């Protein structure tokens, strides 16, 4: 009787194993150091077993000559070495891996902490740094300590204006920033089956904010349906009775709109407690909440009205952008006064655009509100898409209405 | 493997954005990371780290996978980081670039000597000796090689 991590990694919790990696990916941020480490290892070749991907998403398009030079070198290498390469405008690495690439039971490693997002497919997906990734480029495998797991039992349905993001911030708050250190989170229970794929990605995305190495859903009919649309046939993963290191229970109908207060993701308060706090910028996007369903939800709320603070919307991928164009969502956003960015990470990490000034407040749908992350002296509050939309219309933190 | 340095005390949940901010990442010039390490925590810290052992609270190095954080700490002259627990990606990164990390919960006094022995698994400071959690065999091998690059140069 095993956890999903134990089944996929083929070992017992606590055991160290070496395993082949099915997909390994870097972005323009971590890829540069990965390439340098790979060269320093002696550059003895590239694995022909793992599928290797390079995505440009962090600083897109390049903002200055230094970045352009680093990107030129990595782009050139990726294309010459027959990596699967996605240039600027393609979108965020985790999002592209979720658009019909990752399958249940696969082992997926990204050189980015939010690689845990892909556990939504019943894969074991986790982040590493550049040097670990360089070794994977070379050998196609890496070592793992099979994690203990935290079981998050979900019952019922989300109601009112609550979103999966509110549940995500709620479980981070309950566990704390190290509450699941070195562990995997498993989202289980009859409530899990009701959660759509986009929302599963959001829930798994925040796993790392509890110190967890993975966040996982068992592949079910919902997963199979999503993958079938992308042209893949997959099998359902039936949960087995297993032993969890700790367990949390959530009745989804108890979840209310919440906000994570800077500078910690686990300092979470009901939106109602913060209502009226002035906001200088609203940012909608990222690997947490930049999917089509997020943009559509935002557009539904702001349609026909005007945002009163600067509002930046960045689609998570080109596919998301295309869908938003085709359905009219993009026009609704632009007419409401939103600025639209190139698909990618946007201002999330404060390195090239959408930077906030000293003393400014950004309400963001991203996953991190660390000190100075989006600009020195600026503060980041994290919320759901609906809370961000309601607040963009008022210029202050505002509770979303029940739609 | 033994080491000794003066203690620099830090709090809990020090994230890698605080170690090295996103605005300094896009370069291969390590001296930029060293110059700005911990800038958002204390701008005067970077110049005082040489020969020190960082003694931090739980979950040191949580957050982003940026390996520049571990590189900046090592190249600023820090001998080791001691904390009750670490962000797991930072944990791997630090060992991979040859920066010793020690999982141990100790009371920190600024500036006093800290001695450690990674092989036998103890930390000594302020007249007290604490047992530390041993690194896995693989991590010990990687650290002994001076990091994962050298490990693969010799094992590949």
pLDDT of residue A1: 84
Q: Are A342 and A221 in contact (CB under 8 A)?
A: no
Quick check: B64 contacting A, CB < 8 Å?
yes
Contact A373 B22 (CB under 8 A): yes
CATH 3.30.70.20 fits B2-155, yes or no: no
Residues 6+ apart with CB under 8 A from A207: A116, A119, A180, A184, A185, A213, A214, A215
| DSSP type of residue A252 | G
Question: Chain A partners of B68 at a C-beta cutoff of 8 Å?
Answer: 33
**How many angstroms away from the CA of A350 is the closest CA of chain B?**
6
ipTM score of complex? 0.96
With a pLDDT cut of 70, the percent of chain A lying above it is: 100
At A44, the pLDDT band (50, 70, 90 cuts) reads confident
Query: What is A4-145's CATH number, 3.50.50.60, 2.60.40.10, 3.40.50.970, 3.30.499.10?
Result: 3.30.499.10
How does pLDDT run across A279-312, given as a tens digit for each residue?
Answer: 999 999 999 999 999 999 999 999 999 999 999 9
Task: For residue A61, give both structure tokens.
Answer: 């398009």
Report the chain B residue with the minimal C-alpha distance to residue A378: B40
Quick check: B62 contacting A, CB < 8 Å?
yes
Look up the CATH superfamily of A153-254. Answer: Aconitase, Domain 2 (3.40.1060.10)
Sheet holding A51-55, edge to edge: A84-86, A51-55, A23-27, A107-110, A124-127
CA distance linking residue A275 with residue A259, whole number of Å: 10
Task: For residue A326, give both structure tokens.
Answer: 């085709």
Among A37, A131, A260, the strongest candidate for a mutation testing the B interface, having the largest count of B CBs within 10 A, is: A131
pLDDT in single tens digits along all 156 residues of chain B: 899 999 999 999 999 999 999 999 999 999 999 999 999 999 999 999 999 999 999 999 999 999 999 999 999 999 999 999 999 999 999 999 999 999 999 999 999 999 999 989 999 999 999 999 999 999 999 999 999 999 999 886
Quick check: B98 contacting A, CB < 8 Å?
no
**How many angstroms away from the CA of B119 is the closest CA of chain A?**
19
Contact B153 A42 (CB under 8 A): yes
**How many angstroms away from the CA of A109 is the closest CA of chain B?**
12
Quick check: B36 contacting A, CB < 8 Å?
no
Closest residue by Cα to residue A344 from A126, A28, A76, A68: A28
Q: Among partner residues B13, B17, B23, which is closest to A178 by beta-carbon distance?
A: B13
Is the bond preceding A4 in cis, omega lying within 30 degrees of 0? no
CATH number at A259-394? 3.30.499.10
What are the boundaries of each domain within chain B? 2-155
**How many angstroms away from the CA of B129 is the closest CA of chain A?**
26
Q: Can A4-145 and A259-394 be said to share one CATH topology? A: yes
Contact A373 B17 (CB under 8 A): yes
Contact A213 B136 (CB under 8 A): no
Contact B13 A181 (CB under 8 A): no
């Amino acid at each position: 009787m095993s956890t999903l991590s134990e089944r996929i990694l083929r070992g017992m919790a606590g055991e160290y194993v070496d395993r082949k990696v099915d997909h390994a990916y870097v972005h323009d941020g971590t890829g540069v150091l990965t390439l340098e480490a790979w060269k320093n290892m002696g550059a003895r070749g590239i694995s022909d077993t793992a599928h290797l991907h390079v995505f440009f998403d962090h600083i897109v398009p390049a903002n200055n000559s230094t970045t352009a030079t680093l990107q030129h070198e990595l782009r050139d290498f990726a294309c010459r070495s027959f990596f699967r390469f996605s240039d600027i405008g393609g979108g965020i690495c985790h999002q592209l891996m979720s658009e019909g690439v990752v399958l249940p039971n696969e082992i997926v490693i990204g050189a980015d902490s939010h690689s845990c997002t892909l556990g939504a497919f019943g894969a074991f997906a986790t982040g590493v740094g550049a040097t670990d990734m360089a070794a994977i480029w070379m050998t196609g495998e890496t070592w793992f300590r099979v994690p203990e797991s935290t079981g998050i039992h979900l019952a019922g349905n989300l109601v009112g204006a609550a979103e999966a993001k509110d549940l995500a911030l709620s479980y981070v708050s309950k566990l704390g920033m190290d509450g699941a250190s070195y562990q995997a989170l498993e989202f289980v229970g009859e409530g899990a089956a009701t959660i759509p794929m986009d929302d599963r990605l959001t829930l798994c995305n925040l796993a790392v904010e509890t110190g967890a190495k993975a966040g996982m859903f068992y592949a079910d009919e919902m997963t199979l349906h999503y993958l079938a649309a992308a042209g893949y046939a997959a099998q359902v993963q039936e949960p087995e009775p297993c032993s969890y290191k700790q367990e949390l229970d959530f009745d989804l109908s108890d979840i209310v709109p919440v906000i994570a207060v800077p500078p910690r993701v686990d300092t979470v308060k009901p939106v109602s407690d913060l209502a009226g706090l002035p906001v200088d910028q609203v940012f909608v996007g990222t690997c947490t909440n930049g999917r089509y369903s997020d943009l559509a939800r935002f557009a539904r709320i702001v349609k026909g009205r005007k945002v009163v603070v600067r509002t930046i919307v960045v689609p998570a991928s080109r596919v998301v952008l295309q869908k938003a164009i085709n359905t009219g969502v993009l026009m609704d956003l632009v007419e409401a006064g939103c600025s639209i960015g190139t698909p990618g990470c946007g201002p999330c990490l404060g390195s090239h655009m959408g930077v906030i000034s000293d003393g400014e407040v950004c309400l963001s749908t991203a996953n991190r509100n660390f000190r100075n992350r989006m600009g020195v002296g600026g503060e980041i509050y994290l919320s759901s898409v609906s809370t961000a939309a309601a607040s963009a219309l008022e210029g202050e933190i505002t509770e979303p209405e029940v739609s | 493997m033994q080491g000794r340095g003066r203690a620099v005390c830090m709090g809990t949940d020090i994230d890698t954005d605080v170690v090295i901010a996103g605005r300094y990442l896009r370069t291969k010039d390590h001296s930029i990371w060293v110059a700005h390490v911990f800038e958002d925590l204390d701008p005067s810290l970077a110049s005082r780290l040489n020969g020190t052992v960082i003694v931090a609270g739980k979950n040191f190095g949580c957050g982003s996978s940026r390996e520049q954080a571990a590189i900046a700490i090592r190249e600023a002259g820090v001998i080791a980081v001691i904390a009750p627990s670490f962000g797991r990606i930072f944990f791997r990164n630090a060992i991979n670039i040859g920066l010793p990390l020690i999982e141990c919960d100790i009371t920190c006094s600024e500036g006093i000597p800290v001695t450690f022995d990674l092989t036998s698994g103890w930390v000594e400071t302020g007249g007290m000796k604490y047992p530390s959690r041993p690194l896995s065999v693989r991590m010990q091998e990687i650290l002994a090689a001076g990091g994962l690059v050298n490990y693969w140069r010799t094992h590949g």
